[in-house]
């Protein structure tokens, strides 16, 4: 569908314009209000997206030639998989502005500049349908995120920000080579067109590995996760929220958008490995989270576990698994985003992230405890919350796949219950209470917590709207995957992988 | 042979400039308009001359001098680069007033040599043009007020240059002996395999050494960080940018017979791979901003090889485009360095601390330059790298392409430390000079940043010119 108005472009351009306009605005308060207004305007601009037809086709297509000599296009579109991520990004921006209203005192203008540029790049990542355009947004996003951590972060912000930058950039260098290889082999950079091509098995294996490295670091999957706790702990609240709610999703979005459709045979070949790594992430993330005394680190490690559910769901290749993965992506964004905003709120009162310094909030901050409890329940998948919907789907998918994988998930789910309860208990009833002097949630804090809280119940109780959005795309993804995987695997010689080591330089042999 | 002046407008114009500077330098330097004022204006007119000469095509001087798309593309680039470098040098704090006319005279001579170089299609002509541009540079390197480091840098540059050009000349004799011609057009038809003409292959390898020296490619790179560090910031700006254009244009011409699979081509690929890796790894340990940029030059020389070894017109075009991108990015980075070091000192990383507060525009320009040099989008550094990778993939050197990609990850750390010091370090080092925040400084930084970004977002028009140039060499 070609929409008469370039909706997606305007969503990318508006934050950039607003960011540029910030230079002409004086006064921190005004900067905040202006950015908030821009972020709300952004949501208004996105309203045409509600005309999204529930189907698997790419919609709101915008396609222009960019660099014709190399076949680069400015090509934007959304389908059922990406539109959820776009909405998530849009909703995150105003919450980020609100939750850093008082927390960010220095260089306010630059801070909001980074937030706006970040949003623009994120929308770009989720809507780009040209591989190079995707890569442009994918990399462009690193710079504002780096600055968010490096300038407004905690004591070890330098270490954390450089680690974040190095890890993610190192991961994506080979992604660029894979992109070029797709272009040479498939004749185009356009993702929907490449989805129609069938590539040789060996080519798929190499491209899958190059892409999977980039995405696995971004997700992050065990053992590539070590940048995440550092970055989360040091980042300011808004930075953590963006990191958790949007950035991590880019990795799993990459798996869904590139690995499964473009390299189906390789995805199948590596699925056992990916499943093992996902289960390892779930168990490892949960176990380490249980041992944390720093509340931000705890939530960071819980992210590793939760994102393990997402990658697991993707590589189960069944309807339940992939739908569950998509729900988990959304849920993790809502819930972990909420938790990080709460940690930011409590940090403004306690100036410490140590759990033992923020004991016993329950008596003095009941509203705070209510939200914390709610997000905790959602985090470990309590029925009637959104976490339940995603987790149960992945569970069903896992048991459909094999009994062993299903059984391995059970301790993972138990672990997440354990660590959320452990910290919840201490926050609510721990002694001695640190909260005597602290005020309960302010109206502003209510505002930014109510939004995710509503989403927790909405997705938890009435997920059908979301099902309608994603199911056609998931159906198509899996149908294509099945068909094209078979087409390649039938022709793979038995010893195809024997020469894998020599495959790195296939063309040098001529 | 008809010598038609319309064919050599840019060279003639540059010659006029040289003549004027020569006349002024005859006096004691105190008379007449100050060169820092009028030379940039004259150089700006030089850009107009280069544009006017752009469509010219022809062969001159017994076919040793070819005016074609490639040469005019590079002459325009040299004219623009010359304008930026002399503007940059116009307020040089470490240059005595009475030496200014000589200084600009030699810079102009060097640029003239590079212009001649881009049109030379015969090895002896090429050699002479190369020497003209080098000799002029030898003199200016050590022109930094009472600085022993500059003298050392000058000597190093001369010694290195002498050895490299001697090797090149020696190689030239082998090529002549082996292939019985020095015309590139005729050399293209010869066999360049080791089995058929080992003598010529050795000769060509040695001859290329002269170009590698200009380009600072391993193993002829050792002078690069030392000279950048020793000479004044403004001279380093020139040495880091324009000579590389000259070297690339020659390599693009010679690439016509460097087809993939030849021993000499594989040698180029290896040198490129070593150069980029070594350059990036060495830069990691540096504290002096100009040394960082020096090793970064070494790495970028390696990147250019990726396009050259592909043996396709796209590859040549990608290499030419990347050379342009390299010059734009470095002019930007050095512009900021020269402006921040307003007293002409050598900048350490710590001198950049808190630059975002002291000179926000310069800090932003530095960030643009650094991220472009890494190859992050949406800058010309990224799009240039993409072109290199795309042109070279599946032409036999995929390992080199992968080396290039992985090198971005090595490089990020030291480029990031430039940004880190400018943006996240709050404590300003004691005794730091106040950065120059005059309109001249800020407008220059703004324009150069805009060029780096706009070429990255809309590369097509410029790339069209590059592809025309590339197709002129390989049909």
The predicted-structure confidence for A273-295, as pLDDT tens digits, reads as follows 899 999 999 999 999 999 888 88
**CB pairs < 8 Å spanning A and B:** 99
Between A506 and B465, where is the model more confident? B465
CA A5 to centroid of chain Cα atoms:
28
> Distance (Å, rounded) from C-alpha A185 to C-alpha A210?
15
Q: What confidence category does residue A335 fall into, taking pLDDT thresholds of 50, 70 and 90?
A: very high
> Of A151, A157, A181, which is closest to B393 when you measure between CB atoms?
A181
CB contact under 8 A, B386 and A177: no
As a whole number of angstroms, the distance between CA B245 and CA B250 comes to 9
SS3 B161: helix
pLDDT of res. A505: 41
Distance between A158 CA and the closest CA of chain B, angstroms:
8
Residues of B with CB under 8 A from a CB of A: 261, 356, 367, 371, 374, 376-378, 382-383, 385-387, 389-390, 393-399, 401-402, 405-406, 408-409, 412-413, 416, 420, 423-424, 459-460, 463-464, 467
Nearest CA in chain B to A508: B396
Question: For residue range A390-417, what is the model confidence (pLDDT) as tens digits?
Answer: 889 999 999 988 898 889 889 988 999 9
Interface contact A177-B261, CB threshold 8 A: no
**Shortest CA gap A216–chain B (Å):** 17
Q: Would you say residue B36 has pLDDT above 90?
A: no
Cβ pair B254, B185 in contact under 8 A = no
Q: CA angle, corner A93, sides to A461 and A248, nearest 5?
A: 75
Q: How far is B397 from chain A (nearest CA, A)?
A: 6
pLDDT at A278: 92
Per-residue pLDDT averaged across A294-306, rounded?
90
Look-up: residue for tokens 């000479």?
A: B231
**Which of A128, A141, A163, A173 would best serve as a mutation to test chain B binding (most B beta carbons within 10 A)?**
A173
Percent of chain B past pLDDT 90, that is, above it, reads: 15
Q: Is A505 on the interface with B (CB under 8 A)?
A: yes
Report whether pLDDT(A135) > 90: yes
Chain B residues whose beta carbon lies within 8 Å of the beta carbon of residue A161:
424
Give the pair of three-digit tokens for residue A122: 């994120």
* Distance (Å, whole) CA B96 – CA B144: 8
Is B401 within 8 Å of A180 when comparing Cβ atoms? yes
Query: Range with the lowest mean pLDDT among A306-310, A483-487, B91-95?
Result: A483-487
pLDDT value of position A1: 47
Cβ distance A157 to B386 less than 8 Å, yes or no, reads no
pLDDT of residue B475: 54
pLDDT, one tens digit per residue, over B418-446 is 888 888 887 777 777 788 878 888 888 89
The Cβ of residue A72 has, within 10 Å, a number of other Cβ atoms equal to 23
Report residue A490's pLDDT band, with 50, 70 and 90 as the boundaries.
low
Please report, for chain B, the start and end positions of each structural domain, with discontinuous segments joined by +.
258-475
Instruction: Please tell me the distance from the alpha carbon of residue A118 to that of residue A122, in angstroms, as a whole number.
Output: 6
Residue A188's closest chain B neighbor by CA?
A: B390
Compute φ and ψ for A244, nearest 5 degrees.
Answer: -75, -45
The shortest C-alpha distance from A198 to chain B (Å) reads 19
What is the spatial distance between Cα B106 and Cα B108, in angstroms, rounded to a whole number? 5
Check residue A3 and give its pLDDT. Answer: 56
Contact B380, B325 (CB under 8 A): yes
Count of residues making up chain B: 475
pLDDT at position B85 over 80: yes
Which of A139, A203, A209 is best to mutate for the B interface (most B CBs within 10 A)?
Answer: A139
The answer to whether A140 contacts B406, with C-beta atoms less than 8 Å apart, is no
| B183 Cβ contact partners less than 8 Å away, ≥ 6 residues apart | B63, B64, B121, B122, B123
C-alpha distance from residue A79 to each of A356, A381, A468, A483 (Å) = 46, 27, 12, 20
**For residue A130, what are the β-bridge partners?**
A190
- pLDDT tens, A218-253? 988 888 888 998 998 888 888 899 998 899 999 999
Q: What is the pLDDT of residue B19?
A: 87
Find out whether B118 and B70 touch, Cβ atoms under 8 Å: yes
Chain B residues with CB inside 8 Å of A155's CB? none
Handedness of CA A347, A351, A353, A359 (dihedral sign): negative
Rounded to an integer, the average pLDDT of B234-253 is 88
Contact status of A290 with chain B (Cβ, < 8 Å): no
> A151 at the B interface (CB within 8 A)?
yes
Give A333 to chain B, closest Cα distance, Å: 27
Mean pLDDT of B460-470: 83
Q: How confident is the model at residue B298 (pLDDT cuts 50, 70, 90)?
A: very high
The residue of A9, A16, A64, A67 whose CB has the most chain B CBs within 10 angstroms, and thus the best one to mutate to test that interface, is: A67
Phi, psi (rounded to 5 degrees) for B348 = -95, 165
- Closest partner residue to B405 (CB to CB) among A147, A173, A505 is A173
Torsion A163-A168-A174-A180 (CA) sign: negative
What's the CA gap between B475 and B439, in Å, rounded? Answer: 47
Name every chain B residue with its beta carbon within 8 A of the beta carbon of A177: 389, 393, 401-402, 405
pLDDT at A49: 84
Rounded to an integer, the average pLDDT of A428-452 is: 84
The pLDDT value given to residue B303: 92
In sequence order, which residues have a C-beta less than 8 Å from that of residue A287 and are 6 or more positions away? A415
**What is the nearest CA distance from A104 to chain B, expressed in angstroms?**
15
**Beta pairing, strands B58-60 & A72-78:** unpaired
Given a cut of 70, is residue A2 above it in pLDDT? Answer: no
Contact state of B416 with A165 under an 8 Å Cβ cutoff: yes
Predicted local distance difference test score (pLDDT) of residue A500: 47
Range A325-353 average pLDDT: 89
Residue A127: predicted pLDDT: 92
pLDDT band for position A29 (50/70/90)? confident
Distances (CA, A) of B327 to A390, B74, B134, B215, B459: 52, 11, 18, 12, 15
Judged by CB atoms closer than 8 Å, whether chains meet at B396 and A68 is answered as: no
State whether A150 and B399 contact (CB < 8 Å): no
* A93 vs B199: CA distance, rounded Å: 67
CB A313 within 8 A of CB A393: yes
C-alpha–C-alpha distance, residues B327 and A62, integer Å: 34
Tell whether A170 is within 8 A of chain B (Cβ): yes
Pick from B261, B386, B423: CB nearest A151: B423
Residue A445: other Cβ atoms inside 10 A: 23
Average predicted confidence (pLDDT) for chain B: 85
CA distance B66 to chain A (A): 26
Across the interface, whether the CB atoms of A507 and B394 are under 8 A apart is answered yes
Percent of chain A with pLDDT over 70: 95
Maximal CA-CA distance, chain A: 76
Asked if A166 lies within 8 A of B464 by C-beta distance, the reply is no
pLDDT band of residue A493 (cuts 50, 70, 90) is low
Candidates B266, B404, B409, B468: best to mutate against A (most CBs of A within 10 A) is B409
Q: What pLDDT does B329 receive?
A: 93
The nearest alpha carbon in chain B to A135 belongs to B377
Find the CB nearest A184 among B374, B393, B396: B393
Least confident of A79-83, B23-27, B31-35: B31-35
B374 against B54, higher pLDDT: B374
Q: Are A427 and A372 in contact (CB under 8 A)?
A: yes
Burial of B28 (0-12, 13-18, 19+ CB in 10 A): exposed
- ipTM for this model: 0.87
Confidence of residue A374 (pLDDT cuts 50, 70, 90): very high
Q: Which residues contact B422 (CB under 8 A, 6 or more apart)?
A: B352, B353, B354, B355, B356, B363, B366, B367
Determine the residue of chain B that is closest to A159 in CA distance. Answer: B420
Model confidence band, residue B198 (pLDDT cutoffs 50, 70, 90):
confident
Q: How far apart are the first and last CA of chain A?
A: 46
Give the span between the Cα atoms of B205 and B191, in whole angstroms: 15
Chain-chain contact of A143 with B371 (C-beta, under 8 angstroms): yes
Least confident of A444-458, B87-101, B170-184, B376-390: B87-101
Q: Which of B396, B424, B463 sits opposite A510 (nearest CB)?
A: B396
pLDDT in the model for residue A313: 92
Mean residue pLDDT across chain A: 86
| Stretch among A11-25, A100-114, B31-45, B312-326 having the lowest mean pLDDT | B31-45
Cα–Cα distance measured from residue A455 to residue A262, given in angstroms and rounded to the nearest whole number: 33
Q: Indicate which of B354, B412, B422, B465 best probes the interface with A, i.e. most A CBs within 10 Å of its own CB.
A: B412
- The full DSSP string for A347-415 is HHHHS--BGGGS---TTT-HHHHHHHHHHHHHHTT-TTSHHHHHHHHHHHHHHHH-HHHHHHHHHHHHH
Q: Does the distance separating the beta carbons of A67 and B389 come in below 8 Å?
A: no
pLDDT on residue B183: 85
């Amino acid at each position: 569908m070609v929409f008469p108005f370039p909706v997606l472009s305007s969503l990318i351009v508006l934050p950039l314009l607003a960011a540029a306009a910030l230079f002409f605005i004086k006064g921190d308060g005004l900067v905040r209000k202006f950015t908030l207004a821009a972020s709300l305007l952004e949501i208004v601009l996105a309203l045409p997206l509600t005309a999204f037809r529930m189907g698997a086709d790419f919609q709101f297509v915008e396609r222009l030639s960019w660099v014709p000599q190399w076949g680069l296009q400015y090509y934007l579109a959304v389908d059922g998989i990406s539109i959820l991520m776009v909405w998530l990004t849009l909703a995150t921006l105003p919450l980020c502005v609100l939750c850093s209203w008082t927390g960010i005192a220095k260089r306010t203008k630059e801070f909001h500049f980074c937030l706006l540029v970040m949003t623009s790049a994120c929308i770009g990542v989720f809507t780009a349908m040209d591989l190079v355009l995707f890569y442009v947004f994918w990399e462009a996003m690193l710079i504002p995120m780096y600055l968010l951590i490096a300038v407004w972060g905690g004591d070890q912000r330098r270490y954390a920000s450089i680690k974040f930058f190095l890890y993610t950039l190192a991961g994506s260098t080979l992604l660029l080579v894979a992109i070029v290889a797709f272009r040479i082999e498939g004749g185009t950079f356009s993702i929907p067109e490449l989805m129609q091509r069938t590539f040789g098995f060996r080519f798929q294996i190499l491209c899958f590995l190059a892409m999977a490295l980039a995405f696995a670091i971004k997700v992050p999957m065990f053992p590539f996760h070590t940048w995440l706790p550092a970055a989360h702990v040091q980042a300011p609240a808004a930075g953590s929220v963006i990191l958790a709610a949007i950035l991590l999703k880019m990795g799993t979005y990459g798996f869904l958008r590139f690995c499964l459709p473009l390299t189906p045979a390789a995805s199948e070949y590596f699925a056992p490995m990916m499943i093992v790594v996902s289960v390892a992430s779930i168990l490892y993330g949960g176990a380490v989270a249980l041992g944390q005394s720093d509340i931000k680190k705890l939530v960071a490690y819980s992210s590793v576990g939760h994102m393990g559910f997402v990658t697991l769901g993707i590589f189960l290749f069944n309807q339940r698994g992939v739908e569950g993965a998509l729900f988990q992506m959304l849920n993790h964004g809502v819930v972990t985003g909420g938790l990080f905003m709460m940690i930011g709120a409590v940090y403004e009162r306690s100036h410490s992230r140590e759990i033992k310094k923020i004991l016993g909030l329950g008596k003095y901050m009941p509203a705070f405890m209510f939200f914390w409890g709610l997000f905790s329940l959602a985090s470990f998948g309590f029925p009637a919350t959104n976490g339940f919907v995603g987790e149960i789907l992945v569970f069903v998918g896992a048991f459909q796949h094999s009994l062993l994988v299903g059984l391995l998930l059970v301790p993972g789910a138990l672990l997440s219950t354990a660590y959320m309860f452990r910290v919840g208990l201490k926050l609510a009833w721990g002694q001695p209470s640190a909260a005597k002097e602290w005020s309960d949630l302010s109206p502003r804090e209510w505002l930014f917590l109510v939004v995710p809280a509503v989403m927790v119940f909405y997705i938890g109780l009435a997920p059908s709207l979301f099902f309608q959005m994603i199911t056609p795309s998931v159906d198509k993804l899996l149908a294509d995957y099945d068909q094209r995987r078979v087409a390649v695997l039938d022709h793979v010689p038995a010893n195809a992988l024997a020469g894998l080591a020599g495959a790195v330089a296939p063309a040098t042999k001529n | 042979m008809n010598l038609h002046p319309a064919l050599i407008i840019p060279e003639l114009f540059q010659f006029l400039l040289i003549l004027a500077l020569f006349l002024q330098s005859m006096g004691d330097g105190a008379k007449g308009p100050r060169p820092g004022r009028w030379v940039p204006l004259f150089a700006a007119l030089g850009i107009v001359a280069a544009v006017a000469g752009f469509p010219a095509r022809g062969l001159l001087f017994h076919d040793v001098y070819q005016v074609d798309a490639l040469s005019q593309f590079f002459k325009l680039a040299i004219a623009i680069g010359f304008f930026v470098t002399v503007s940059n040098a116009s307020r040089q704090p470490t240059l005595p007033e009475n030496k200014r006319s000589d200084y600009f005279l030699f810079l102009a001579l060097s640029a003239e040599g590079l212009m001649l170089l881009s049109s030379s299609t015969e090895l002896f002509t090429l050699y002479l043009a190369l020497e003209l541009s080098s000799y002029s540079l030898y003199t200016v390197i050590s022109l930094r007020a009472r600085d022993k480091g500059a003298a050392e840098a000058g000597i190093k540059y001369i010694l290195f240059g002498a050895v490299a050009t001697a090797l090149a000349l020696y190689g030239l004799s082998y090529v002549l002996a082996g292939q019985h011609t020095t015309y590139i057009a005729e050399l293209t038809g010869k066999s360049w395999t080791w089995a058929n003409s080992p003598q010529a292959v050795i000769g060509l390898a040695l001859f290329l050494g002269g170009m590698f020296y200009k380009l600072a490619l391993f193993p002829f790179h050792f002078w690069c960080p030392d000279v950048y560090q020793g000479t004044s910031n403004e001279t380093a700006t020139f040495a880091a940018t324009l000579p590389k254009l000259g070297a690339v244009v020659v390599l693009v011409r010679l690439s016509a017979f460097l087809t993939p699979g030849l021993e000499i081509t594989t040698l180029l690929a290896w040198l490129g791979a070593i150069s980029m890796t070594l350059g990036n790894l060495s830069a990691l340990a540096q504290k002096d901003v100009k040394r960082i940029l020096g090793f970064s030059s070494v790495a970028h020389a390696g990147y250019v090889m990726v396009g050259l070894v592909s043996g396709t017109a796209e590859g040549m075009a990608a290499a030419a485009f990347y050379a342009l991108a390299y010059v734009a990015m470095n002019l930007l980075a050095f512009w900021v360095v020269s402006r921040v070091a307003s007293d002409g000192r050598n900048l350490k990383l710590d001198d950049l601390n808190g630059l975002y507060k002291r000179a926000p525009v310069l800090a932003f320009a530095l960030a643009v330059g650094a991220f472009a040099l890494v190859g992050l989008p949406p800058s010309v550094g990224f799009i240039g790298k993409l072109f290199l990778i795309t042109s070279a993939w599946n032409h036999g050197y995929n390992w080199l392409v992968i080396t290039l990609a992985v090198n971005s990850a090595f490089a990020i750390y030291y480029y990031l430390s430039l940004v880190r010091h400018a943006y996240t370090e709050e404590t300003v080092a004691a005794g730091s000079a106040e950065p120059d925040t005059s309109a001249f400084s800020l407008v220059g930084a703004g324009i150069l940043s805009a060029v780096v970004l706009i070429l990255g977002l809309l590369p097509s028009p410029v790339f069209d010119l590059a592809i025309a140039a590339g197709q002129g060499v390989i049909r």
